[in-house]
Amino acid sequence: MMKGFVPAVAAALAAIVAFSPAIMAQEAGVTTSISDADMALYRTGINPADADVDAGEAFFRKEQGEKKTSCAACHEGPAAKKSLKGSAATFPKWIASAKKVVTLEDRINMCVTGGMGAEKLEMKSATMTGISLYVRSLSKGMKVNVSTGGEAKDTFDLGRKVFATRRGQRNLACATCHEDLVGSTLRMQALNKINGAAAHWPAYRMVNGETTQLQRRFQQCMSNARLAPFPMGDYRMTALELYVTSLANGSPMETPGWVR
């Protein structure tokens, strides 16, 4: 088994490093440099994504939809039906009423459409990113604790399979970079195990100057590796998010993150 493993890993590494930075940036839809403005903010410790958290809080408190109510009306104050403190640390999770595992963003949309009578938020929209970040900020410092058993087991198993399955032009998988080639370097970055990474997403990415959700980051990685990206909100994306987030179980929530 090891005789075939080493050449396979070497071939995968060769395929990855064959990408030029320009091609990879084009495929991912990002630039290759960090702006002077972002670098200046980085040096001061001011995370640009904090503005998205503020926008999310404004949405949280705004009365809207046919029912003229707000997120805060249900989740804040003495009349709150359920506090959201610690809630984000348990997503993705099985929701009985939905009869499936849902992400935090899915759950937010369930509340927006059902509880408020408002229009569903687009998954990759700035509004969704903001409200998702704000809700996650209420669990800051609390440990990630997603369930991978019971009703969630099938989705977890699918996520592990998606992570490990090679596909696309380069015959690569998530595991190629984040397990097989850990310790190697790609685009001036060390390839690391994912471990607790999910605990700091959504995060502000300096290379493209925007706050990015975890599933959007998955799409960027897939594009870089020439894999057809799954749509955000797709059941395979939900499964992959559950698996990757499970690797962060026990890690403190630190959102918004700030990455290259």
**Residue-range definition of the domain harbouring residue 228:** 9-37+146-259
Residue 177 a catalytic site member: no
DSSP state of 233: T
Q: What is the pLDDT of residues 123-135, one digit of tens each?
A: 999 999 999 999 9
Positions of the chain with pLDDT lower than 70, given as ranges? 1-42, 79-80, 186-189
Q: Is residue 4 part of a domain?
A: no
In b/e form, how buried is each residue of 54-63, taking b as 16+ CB within 10 angstroms?
ebbbebbeee
Domain ends where: 106, 137, 168?
137
159 and 119 fall within a common domain: no
> Could you tell me if residue 66 is inside a domain?
yes
Q: 142: alpha, beta or left, given left = phi > 0 and alpha = psi -120 to 50?
A: beta
Please check whether residues 151 and 32 belong to one and the same domain: yes
Residue-level pLDDT at 193: 83
Of 124, 110, 133, 117, the closest CA to residue 59 belongs to 133
Do 161 and 180 lie in one domain? The reply is yes
Residue 44 counted as domain residue? no
Domain final residue pick, 109, 137, 165: 137
On the question of a cis peptide bond just before residue 256, with omega within 30 degrees of 0, the verdict is yes
Return all residues near 125 (Cβ < 8 A) that are at least 6 apart: none
Residue 57 phi, psi dihedral angles, 5° rounding: -65, -40
Q: Which pLDDT score is estimated for 10?
A: 42
Residue 42 lies in a domain: no
**Residues 195, 187 contacting (CB under 8 angstroms):** no
CA distance 58 to 155: 33
Residues 118 and 160 both lie in one domain: no
Helix (H, G, I), strand (E, B) or coil at 253: coil
Determine contact, residues 37/47, Cβ cutoff 8 Å: no
Options 71, 174, 177, 221, the catalytic residue = 221
Instruction: Please tell me the total count of domains within the chain.
Output: 2
- Cα 76 to Cα 83: distance, rounded to the nearest angstrom: 6
Of 86, 110, 137, the residue that ends a domain is 137
**pLDDT value at residue 84:** 92
Q: Which residues pair with 95 in a beta bridge?
A: 100
